[in-house]
Amino acid sequence: MINVNIQTEPFTAYNIRRVRGDTKKILVKLSVGQDVTTPVDITSWTNFYLTVDPSKAPVNEFNNVEQMIGVIEDATEGVVSFSPSPDTPAGSYYFDIQATDEDGGISTLVMGKYDLIQDITKD
């Protein structure tokens, strides 16, 4: 699970490493606080996207290799999930996760590397 403290500026840095073909959900939990964190209620949040691209700073979306739409798993605990496609080719990419909060503000919550390692079993 990726733990994101939304008070961290400007975003949380995190690297994802997966095996190509695996479809286990990527879970993200949003919280606030310094010493003790409290879950963020994301009941009114929308437009959760996890986007994967070969470029660290793409100028547009034309080279995106995947964009996952987030599903709120537990709104009061701040948990959202993303289901990766089994068809994304193996390679080294970059990703970010964005969402729209209850006030309509768009925030990039997480950014980092997204490595897909070639699998052996194809079933």
Looking only at the bridges linking them, the beta strands covering 2-5 and 26-32 are parallel
Q: What is the pLDDT of residues 77-112, one digit of tens each?
A: 999 999 999 999 999 999 999 999 999 999 999 999
Q: Is residue 29 part of a domain?
A: yes
Per-residue pLDDT of the chain (123 residues; tens, 9 = 90+): 999 999 877 899 999 999 999 999 999 999 998 888 999 999 999 999 999 999 999 999 999 999 999 999 999 999 999 999 999 999 999 999 999 999 999 999 999 999 999 999 877
Q: Is residue 63 part of a domain?
A: yes
Whole-number Å distance between alpha carbons of 93 and 113: 6
Q: Is residue 95 part of a domain?
A: yes
Q: Is residue 28 part of a domain?
A: yes
- Global confidence as pTM: 0.94
Q: Is residue 122 part of a domain?
A: no
Q: Is residue 65 part of a domain?
A: yes
Q: How far is CA 99 from the centre of its chain?
A: 10
Please count the structural domains in the chain: 1
Looking up residue 37, the CATH number of its domain turns out to be 2.60.40.10
Whole-number Å distance between alpha carbons of 120 and 3: 30
